[in-house]
């Protein structure tokens, strides 16, 4: 299975373990035209995430892809705690990698994002797997950015599923609610949200990880190594077995068309930005559920509520393949 005639893709991420696996997957998927990666504070600092990204791309043999670090704080200036307890010291599960042979782009993430969108003849697609601060800042700098973006896919939010940084809020939306609210309201031509409702049901297992460790290419082995720490976190906090959710990799699969959601109704979606118990919660109007989600006034996003559960096998097969 491969992607056909894709639009150039930019990934905006905070490269921890699942972001790294998503990047490896994209680099190993035939037809994906990955043009640039921008990083933001989230799982780790924006600068550390850029370094991690360069190391991951080098492992995948893609030193040609530019990487730029972006926002260090939220839109309102908050610095949220790093997620070392989830992603390990440095963000890659404590796995030591060689120093990257390439350096980050000298410009900012916003510079690289806008330049990539401008230089692509027919515009770009964007996959965002991190707090949405960089995208919000890019919209401030260029309000017409949505005209240059074919599809924006965001891993974030929780509709019916509990949040993972509060009872209601998921990390990518909840760590910068003002940015998320601005991005969701920007009028994208094709906006898809991939929330915890589906990513927590697509699970990698220890059997998958052992296959990755034993496979014949560096990308697969790196995924297997960094997932060890991630599996421990999930087993202790979120899953009744040793394994992990497929948060960012599943969003990547949806972004490039390898995963077709079973249910992705178009819904009105916003974010709670008040300083209360629901701060950072994704507010999706699902009141049409009993009528098959008819078209609703104000619908601004396709919200993925069901996938078929087979993506982990596809992911491992792709990373273990000797050739792309």
pLDDT of residue 4: 52
Strand partners, 86: none
Instruction: Please state, in angstroms and rounded to a whole number, the distance separating the CA atoms of residues 121 and 139.
Output: 20
Q: Is the pLDDT of residue 224 over 60?
A: yes
What is the structure's pLDDT at 140? 98
Query: Which residue, 172, 171, 14, 16, is CA-closest to 91?
Result: 16
pLDDT given at position 81: 77
Q: Buried (b) or exposed (e) across 27-53, using 16+ Cβ within 10 A?
A: bbbeebebbbbbbbbbbbbbebbbbbb
Q: Is the dihedral of CA 246, 317, 215, 58 positive or negative?
A: negative
CA atoms within 13 A on the CB side of 21: 33
Domains of the chain listed by start with CATH number = 9-288+296-320 (3.90.245.10)
Residue 211: per-residue pLDDT? 97
Report yes or no: 53 and 13 within 8 Å, Cβ to Cβ.
yes
Mean pLDDT of the region 220-231? 97
Digit-coded pLDDT (tens) for 241-251: 999 999 999 99
What confidence tens digit (pLDDT) does each residue in 193-217 have? 999 999 999 999 999 999 999 998 9
- List, for residues 128-160, the tens digit of each pLDDT value: 999 999 999 999 999 999 999 999 999 999 999
Q: pTM for the full model?
A: 0.96
pLDDT the model gives residue 82: 78
- As annotated, the active-site residues are 247
pLDDT at 288: 85
β-strands 67-69, 34-39 pairing = parallel
Lowest mean pLDDT among 272-281, 289-298, 309-318: 289-298
Q: For the segment 19-68, what is each residue's pLDDT rounded down to a tens digit?
A: 999 999 999 999 999 999 999 999 999 999 999 999 999 999 999 999 99
**Does the structure show a pLDDT above 80 at 292?**
no
Within 13 A of 168's CA, how many CA atoms are on the CB side?
Answer: 13
H, E, C per residue of 6-45: CCCEEEEECCCHHHHHHHHHHHHCCCCCEEEEEECCCCCC
Give me 79's structure tokens: 């610095």
Share of the chain above pLDDT 70, in %: 97
Q: How confident is the model at residue 296 (pLDDT cuts 50, 70, 90)?
A: confident
Phi, psi of 83 (to 5 degrees): -105, 50
Which pLDDT band holds residue 324 (cuts at 50, 70, 90)?
low
**What's the pLDDT score for residue 323?**
59
Residue 131 dihedral angles phi and psi, to the nearest 5° = -55, 150
Q: Tell me what pLDDT residue 289 has.
A: 81
Token pair of 27, please?
Answer: 């680099």
Q: Say if CB 274 and CB 177 are below 8 A apart.
A: no
Q: Tell me the pLDDT tens digit for each residue of 105-116.
A: 999 999 999 999
């Amino acid at each position: 299975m491969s992607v056909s005639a894709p639009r150039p893709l930019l990934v905006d991420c905070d490269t921890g373990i699942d972001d790294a696996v998503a990047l490896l997957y994209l680099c190993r998927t035939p037809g994906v035209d990955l043009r640039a990666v921008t990083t933001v504070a989230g799982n780790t600092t924006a600068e550390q995430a850029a370094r991690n990204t360069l190391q991951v791309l080098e492992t995948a043999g893609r030193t040609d892809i530019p990487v730029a670090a972006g926002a260090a704080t939220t839109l309102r200036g908050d610095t949220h705690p790093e997620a070392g307890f989830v992603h390990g010291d440095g963000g890659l599960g404590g796995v030591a990698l060689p120093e990257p042979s390439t350096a980050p782009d000298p410009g900012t993430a916003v510079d690289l994002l806008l330049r990539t969108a401008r230089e692509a003849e027919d515009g770009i697609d964007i996959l965002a797997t991190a707090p949405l601060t960089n995208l919000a800042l890019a919209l401030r700098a260029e309000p017409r950015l949505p005209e240059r973006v074919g599809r924006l896919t965001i891993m974030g939010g929780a509709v019916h599923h509990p949040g993972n940084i509060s009872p209601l809020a998921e990390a990518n939306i909840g760590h910068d609610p003002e940015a998320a609210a601005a991005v969701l309201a920007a009028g994208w031509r094709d906006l898809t949200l991939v929330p915890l409702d589906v990513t927590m049901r697509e699970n990698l297992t220890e059997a998958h990880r052992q296959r990755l460790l034993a496979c014949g290419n560096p990308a697969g082995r790196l995924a297997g190594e960094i997932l060890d720490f991630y599996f421990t976190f999930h087993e202790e906090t979120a899953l009744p077995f040793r394994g992990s959710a497929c948060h960012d990799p599943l969003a990547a699969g949806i972004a490039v068309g390898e995963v077709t959601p079973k249910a992705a109704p178009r819904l009105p979606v916003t974010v709670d930005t008040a300083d209360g118990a629901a701060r950072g919660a994704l507010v999706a109007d699902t009141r049409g559920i009993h009528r098959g989600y008819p078209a609703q006034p104000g619908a601004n996003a396709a919200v993925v509520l069901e996938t078929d559960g087979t993506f982990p096998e596809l992911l491992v097969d792709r990373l273990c393949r000797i050739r792309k």
